[in-house]
Chains A and B, each alone.
Chain A
Amino acid sequence: MNATDIQIAICGSAGDGTIAAGDILRNAVAAAGYRVICFDVYPPEIRGFGKCISRLRITTEQSYSLKRQSDVLVSLDDSHAIPHAGEVRDNGAVIFESQSIAQCGEGEHMSGHVLPGQIPYGFPMRELAQKATGGARSRNLVVLGYIAGLLGLAPTSFQRIIEKKFAKQGPAVVSRNQAGFQAGFDAGAGTFKLDDVAFGPFEKPASAGKVIMLSGNAAVVQGCLDAELDTFFGYPITPATTIMERLASELPKRGRRLLQTECEISAIAATIGAGFAGSRTATATSGPGLALMAEMLGLATMTETPCVVFVSQRGGPSTGMPTKTEQSDLNAALYGSPGDAQRIVIAPTNVEGCYRCAGKAFEMAERYQTPVIVLLDLYLSNRYETVTLSESGSPFVLDANKPLRRLEPGEAYQRYALTPDGISPRAVPGDANCMHVVTGLEHNELGRPNDSAEMHTAMSRKRHDKLLGALEHPDFTVTKRFGDTGKVKVGILAWGSTFGECLEAMFMAQAEGIRCAAMKVVMLSPFPEKAISAFMDDCDAVLVPEVNYEGQFAQLVQGVLARPVVRLSRVPSSPMPVELILGEIRRLSGVNA
């Protein structure tokens, strides 16, 4: 069987329906059984400006990142798509409007930018939309039909998705969009195909669970729901907003609460308050919001209050680049509170990981009585993947929130008792015989203010040591090694969304005969020192690719382990290119491409 591995990029202007086209396409191919990774890039402006790109990689086998080169590029707006023409591989297809109605400046049409090795497909998408639907708004549907017809994809799954997507707008809208799709499909099927982009024969594999298409943020929401999140407090910010949007519709259906607060400070304060009251609770934000939450997070650490903060990183500092991905909030997540305010920081590496980390974050927050930051980024939040979820109920521990033990009448309750593992008996307001003081001041075991050196030292140690248990948290992948076993030339150490690109690069390097391995580091705090150190022992060179300028993770590794690593720190406003990582692997292994 020839494995399918096709990447399609749809590029247009805000308002062209670019993202909507990508959404229908990814859902249609996923429904047909293919694995999909999709990442949308859109401008900060709402409409009428800026570039939108929806890139989808469609495979029969699991893939881990987008490819550098697309197989098909569709232009819904040449002014935006022309700079991307070079991203299409040789013998790939470039699809564009052949009969613009507006005057086109010289050199401003896609046909002049199709490279000699690529195959141009100009077709009258506007005219077809006009004829089929009476308007040009369905151009994106016409284009989808053209892609399906040209590549020989069955129209049925598209038709089903279109019907579902537009059902709320009434049968006339559904019918118009179906007509647009069909017109494009007929045009595509009737086009002489010269490119070599082909879907291989494919049998839908028997799945071990439910295969669904989710974005990273949608997976976070699903994880929250499956972990039985009680309350959510948030203030909108790109790219975290969709977490709150989805929860806003889902939580009330389950009799649970969501409150949009007036700012991020209120959001974290309310979250901590809910956590104190025994609610399974969370908030979501991005870098600027995390900065505002820094002080209150220190309170959660000091009061040992469970709460979960989802942080989706974007380009910074300050307002920065709200619609561009980056991994530059690691330091803020690790250290961004005054005092020794250590907390658990975990970073999923793919969409399925978003689901698992979301659910596990609540277990950890409650078991270790601490804030947990789940560090996402725009690439992960907005990326769609087909994921396989268990059909046998929630995989998360749902009772971690229960008080650790019940006191007998007359027994003195010590909320901050110094225990061997640092975890004290937790009580929530209303628990019998468990009255105690809670304060942001340093305190003794009863919670009463105490600033003696001995108590501060003991409590600091307690707050630090109790987190170490998270390194062995049940059923949670703290780190995982891939690739060659034993000694390798190059080891790649990566975190967050960049790990997918690292894994692709590692596979490509292995195919070139380079012995290499990759380790994903999901838990960033507490730092999994032993596992990373053991991995580094096996590597002649350790490469740390990450999408930030200062090499924040590399600094963390070097700071803790005092061992050299090779930094690959870039801020390309987009995911780290696989070829860049591969080039570094080659260089470090002494192999020239």
Chain B
Amino acid sequence: MNASASLATAPRRYVIIGNGVAGNQAAELLRERDPECQVTIITNSRLLFYNRYLLPQLFKGHQSWHAFLANPPEYYVNKRIKVLRDCRVVGVDTRNKQVKLAHNEPVSYDALLVATGGRGHLPEELVECRHLFHHFGTYEAALAMRKALPEKGTVVMLGGDMIGLDLARTLLSIECRVVLVTHESTFWPHQLAPGERADALAALEKMGIELIDGDARGGVTSVEAGAPGLPGRRVIFRQGGDVYGDVVMPFYGLTPLVEFMVGSGTDIERGLLVNTGLRTSDPHVYAAGDVCQIWSEQDHAYRFYYGYKNVRAMGAVAAINMTGGHEHFATTQEETLGRDGQGHIDSPFWAYE
């Protein structure tokens, strides 16, 4: 066999950066659509793909991380999906079609999917206090927060996006005290009209969440470690006053994780800009999930689409198009903040399979 024949028959190399819903949905479809291909997922997590939506269940009795895995380890062996865990991507060389890892290893691709999602946004003024916050975005962070929270302890939530409010429901059910310092990001990614917001806030109070009007206090200016004999954290407001909690958690929405793509030549605004086929400005690079802004013909603008359904659909569309398909992403995700039978808020973003 000559070299050109060998290249012609070489299996295509699909690389996925990100180990969440979009990335794993894409990996599964890539394997289905191209049985001979190489599929590689790169993640900075030590764990295989697990269901972050289930993390609040940590409060319903301790569960090992095994219980959260979406698929058993054998799944990756059987599907021949290689997962590079505990690896940090530091750059993408689109000219040579290589992902650069922090340990100085290149990973070559024929088609790349960026599905890194987002990290919790932190307002600039709070960045220097970040070591005092607890988070809930990963199993490790969630478990650390659970360990830090005493029985019937107090959680101060700053912002209060829908990820935080989902956790708040669980915390209330185990008789924790939840204090919410409202912010413009409260209810993110729902975008509520002023009247709707007031109703929704009232619903939160009805659920048992204590509200502090963050705007009226001039916003949070800093967080301190609590003094001996007091709860672990103190939140200080710009216009005076404070509130104590055992843990303080920021829930100001998500910021796309795209830093490593800077310099790759692909178009970036806040997230990676993609067309409705989820292709970026580079023909070999696709993006899916919370990391990308998709062109909307209707709005004549790039916009984010959130929620499990959207993210999963994006993973599928990207995989189809990476393997030669011509699919377009169209959202089927309901985005209206609703109420349940008890008058409590109920978000379609809380629904997952």
Contact = CB atoms under 8 A, between A and B. Distances in A.
B46 A116 contact: no
B74 interface: yes
Interface string A483-508: 00000000000000000000000000
A100 B102 CA distance: 8
B153 interface: no
Interface string A98-126: 11111111111101101111011110000
B82 A99 contact: no
Contacts of A114: 85-86
B8 to A, nearest CB: 21
Contact of A111 (B65, B86, B108, B144): B86
A111 B85 contact: yes
A138 to B, nearest CB: 20
A194 interface: yes
B105 interface: yes
Contacts, number: 68
Interface residues of B, number: 27
B104 interface: yes
B95 interface: no
B104 A102 contact: yes
Contact of B46 (A101, A115, A121): A121
Contacts of B108: 106
A91 to B, nearest CB: 8
A112 B103 CA distance: 12
Interface centre among A99, A107, A108, A112 (most CB of B within 10 A): A112
A90 interface: yes
A77 interface: no
B contacts with A: majority SS:
mixed
B106 interface: yes
A326 interface: no
A97 B48 CA distance: 20
Given A97-B103, A101-B104, A105-B105, A112 B82 contact: yes
Contacts of B76: 116
Nearest to B75: A116
A90 B73 CA distance: 9
Contacts of A194: 46-47, 65, 140
Contacts of B75: 116
Contacts of B107: 106
Nearest to A103: B104
Interface string A65-109: 000000000000000000000000010000001111111111111
A194 B88 CA distance: 19
A109 B101 contact: yes
A119 B46 contact: yes
B73 A117 contact: yes
Contacts of A122: 86-87, 103
Interface string B144-180: 1000000000000000000000000000000000000
Given A98-B102, A100-B104, A101-B104, 13 more contacts: A100-B105, A104-B104, A104-B105, A106-B106, A111-B86, A111-B103, A111-B105, A112-B82, A115-B73, A116-B83, A119-B46, A121-B46, A122-B87
11 contacts: A98-B86, A98-B88, A106-B105, A106-B106, A107-B105, A109-B103, A111-B105, A112-B84, A116-B48, A122-B86, A192-B46
